């Protein structure tokens, strides 16, 4: 067992089961960890409005890394750092979606926009955080991803094999966790990072213990220090009990 002081949890596919619920066993393990002095925090691609009900459920007062690292919250309700995306880039990404006729969405400080509620007139007035596509056609997916990569201006990941998620260059869950470690006086070697998708990869690589869920994408499993059981089998709880609390 390592000297782990911080547990950073992805949400969808990791902490949450397929019904988007926190299991009783995961809840019990998180409570035991916090009572033992370990900081347990959420590190997610979600925006804060879609996080807070879970924060409240777990009674967490810890930092939050949201929107794949574009926001770092010192504590619930206390923003520490926010990195926004250039509106010209957002417009270019939207034009790709229109050209290929694929679903797109974007997180902003003001709310979530998508193909159905996009406001062209507001694009320069909005503070953009993340852009995304969902593309079922693998050839189109590869083509879009290749075009985006050629710009050299974005962090390109996914939270599902059929989507693409874009953040400002240099922004990831790992960059957010480094901010949190600086706030808490910890080293990345003291962090357990758990996830299942490409947007968790940099966190898993950077953490002292990088954990892939049993349901994780194969690339994530190959890079992880440890592969646990699935999100349907309380993988988060197993890692906390065995690796963090040594029970």
Domains of the chain are 6-82+172-244 (3.40.50.1000), 87-168 (3.30.1240.10)
Q: What are phi and psi of 98, to 5 degrees?
A: -65, -40
Q: What pTM does this model have?
A: 0.96
CA-to-CA distance for 45 and 38, rounded, in angstroms? 23
H-run or E-run covering 95: helix 87-100
End-to-end Cα separation, the chain, in angstroms: 10
CB atoms within 10 A of CB 123: 17
Looking at residue 15, its pLDDT comes to 98
Active-site residue 10, yes or no? yes
**What tens digit of pLDDT does each residue of 42-96 get?**
999 999 999 999 999 999 999 999 999 999 999 999 999 999 999 999 999 999 9
**What tens digit of pLDDT does each residue of 111-157 get?**
999 999 999 888 999 999 999 999 999 999 999 999 999 999 999 99
**18 is written with which tokens?**
């397929």
Catalytic annotation, pick one of 10, 12, 196, 200: 10
What is the band of 2 on the pLDDT scale with cuts at 50, 70, 90?
A: low
């Amino acid at each position: 067992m390592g000297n782990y002081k911080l547990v950073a949890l992805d949400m969808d596919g990791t902490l949450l089961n397929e019904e988007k619920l926190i299991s009783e066993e995961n809840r019990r393990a998180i409570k035991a960890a916090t009572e033992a002095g370990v900081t347990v925090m959420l590190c997610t691609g979600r925006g804060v409005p879609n996080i807070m009900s879970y924060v409240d459920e777990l009674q967490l007062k810890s930092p939050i890394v949201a929107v794949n690292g574009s926001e770092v919250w010192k504590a619930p309700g206390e923003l520490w750092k926010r990195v926004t995306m250039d509106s010209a880039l957002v417009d270019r990404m939207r034009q790709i979606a229109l050209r290929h006729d694929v679903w797109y969405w974007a997180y902003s400080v003001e709310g979530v926009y998508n193909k159905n509620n996009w406001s062209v007139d507001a694009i320069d007035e909005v503070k953009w955080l993340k852009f995304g596509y969902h593309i079922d056609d693998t050839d189109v997916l590869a083509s879009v991803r290749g075009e985006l990569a050629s710009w050299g201006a974005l962090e390109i990941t996914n939270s599902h094999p059929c989507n693409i998620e874009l953040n400002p260059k240099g922004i990831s869950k790992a960059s957010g966790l480094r901010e949190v470690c600086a706030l808490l006086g910890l080293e990345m070697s003291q962090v357990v990072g758990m996830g299942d998708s490409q947007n968790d990869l940099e966190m898993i690589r950077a953490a002292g213990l990088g954990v892939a869920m049993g349901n994780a994408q194969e690339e994530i499993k190959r890079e992880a220090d440890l592969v646990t059981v699935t999100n349907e089998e309380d993988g988060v709880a197993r890692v906390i009990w065995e690796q963090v609390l040594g029970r």
